[in-house]
Amino acid sequence: MEKVITVKNLVKKFGSFVANDHLNFDVYQGEIFGFLGANGAGKTTAMKILCGLSSPTSGEVKVGGFDIYTETEKVKRNIGYMSQKFSLYEDLTVAENIRFFSGIYGISPAERRQKQDKLLKDLGLERSKDALIGSLPLGWKQKLAFSVAIFHDPKIVFLDEPTGGVDPITRRKFWDLIYEAADRGITVFVTTHYMDEAEYCNRVSIMNTGKIEALDTPENLKKQYGAKNMDEVFLKIARNVE
């Protein structure tokens, strides 16, 4: 399988503080990769580097086949990003949001119109084209935010706590979208604090104090740590190190 992310000996320091301490991992095409860790473990720092927003202190990182030091702009064109905190502009309409993000990713107006019609039809949002995002129910907003994040057909989509604060049904519907995207070959790189969601990933890495302490399928991690679920695995790893 094709590697879409390769990370070798990634180190990121802030002064004397080591936020990422020799990270090594690969992510494969079409994989749902769970990126877990306690607060302050270094997840956000690593994510920023993978998205081309911050440079490593040392180490080799390739995202979508592009070098993170020299091809930052190409990296950015080939990824999508969505978080619970920031996704769409609430005071723009559905169509305006799509136009805005299309512009940023260099999608031509003709292509946008064609894709937009299909997107709105697929989501059942044709009649809400001119509605402000702020007026949409949370479930719709989330679907749309995710669709916009992958509108430019990125190789990888980064989801930073996409389901925080969302009701249990909407949260599960969101995972249906994640599976569909993965089926289409898009690699999904996702962080979450819901440990049940860790079970839905193909592989999971767990960070603690700047290091990756464990990386495997949920099944193998549970075996390795003699745990009945991922919550227990997480607690064992995070508590042991303290």
Partner 1 sequence: MKTNSKNKASQHVSQNPLSRRGLEEASISIQNINKSYGPVQALQNISLEINRGELFGLIGPDGAGKSTLMRILMTLLFQDSGTATMNGLDVVKDYKKIRKIVGYMPGRFSLYQDLTVEENLNFFATVFNTSITENYDLIKDIYIQIEPFKSRLAGKLSGGMKQKLALSCALIHKPEILVLDEPTTGVDAVSRKEFWEMLKKLQEKGITILVSTPYMDEAMLCTRVALMQKGKVLDVNTPQKLVENYDRKLYAIRSDDMHRLIQDLRSWEKTDTAYAFGQFLHVTGKADETEACEFENYLLKKEHRELQVFDIPPTIEDVFMNMMNE
By CB under 8 A, tell whether 38 contacts partner 1: yes
**181-210 as b/e: b if 16+ CB within 10 A:** bbeeebbbbbbbebbebbbbbbbbbbbbbb
**Looking at 8, 118, 223, 239, which residue binds partner 1 (CB under 8 A)?**
239
Q: What is the nearest approach in angstroms of partner 1 to the Cβ of residue 174?
A: 11
Using the rule CB under 8 A, give the single segment among 96-104, 111-119, 146-154, 223-231 that binds partner 1: 223-231
Using the rule CB under 8 A, give the single segment among 4-12, 18-26, 45-53, 229-237 that binds partner 1: 229-237
Residue whose entry in the numeric block shows the structure tokens 């993170």: 68
What is residue 226's three-state secondary structure? Answer: coil
By CB under 8 A, tell whether 172 contacts partner 1: yes
Q: What are the distances in angstroms from CA 156 to CA 167, 178, 238?
A: 26, 12, 28
By CB under 8 A, tell whether 177 contacts partner 1: no
Q: What is the nearest approach in angstroms of partner 1 to the Cβ of residue 213?
A: 13
Residues 82 and 163: their CA atoms lie apart, in Å, by 10
By CB under 8 A, tell whether 202 contacts partner 1: no
**Looking at 9, 164, 216, 227, which residue binds partner 1 (CB under 8 A)?**
164
DSSP one-letter string for 113-172: HHHHHHHHHHHT-GGGTTSBGGGS-HHHHHHHHHHHHTTT--SEEEEESTTTT--HHHHH
By CB under 8 A, tell whether 64 contacts partner 1: no
Using the rule CB under 8 A, give the single segment among 6-14, 21-29, 70-78, 170-178 that binds partner 1: 170-178
Residues ≥6 apart with Cβ < 8 Å to 49: 10, 12, 20, 55, 56, 61, 68
Strands 3-14, 17-28: pairing kind:
antiparallel
Residues 82 and 162: their CA atoms lie apart, in Å, by 7
**Looking at 170, 211, 216, 227, which residue binds partner 1 (CB under 8 A)?**
170
**Looking at 1, 14, 16, 39, which residue binds partner 1 (CB under 8 A)?**
39
Using the rule CB under 8 A, give the single segment among 45-53, 66-74, 98-106, 187-195 that binds partner 1: 187-195
Residues 105 and 29: their CA atoms lie apart, in Å, by 21
By CB under 8 A, tell whether 165 contacts partner 1: yes
Residue 230: name the closest of 214, 211, 209, 242 by CA.
Answer: 214
Q: Which is nearer to partner 1, 22 or 173 (CB)?
A: 173
Q: Which is nearer to partner 1, 62 or 171 (CB)?
A: 171
Interface residues with partner 1 (CB under 8 A)? 37-41, 138, 161, 164-170, 172, 175-176, 179, 183, 193-196, 199-200, 218, 229-231, 234-235, 238-239
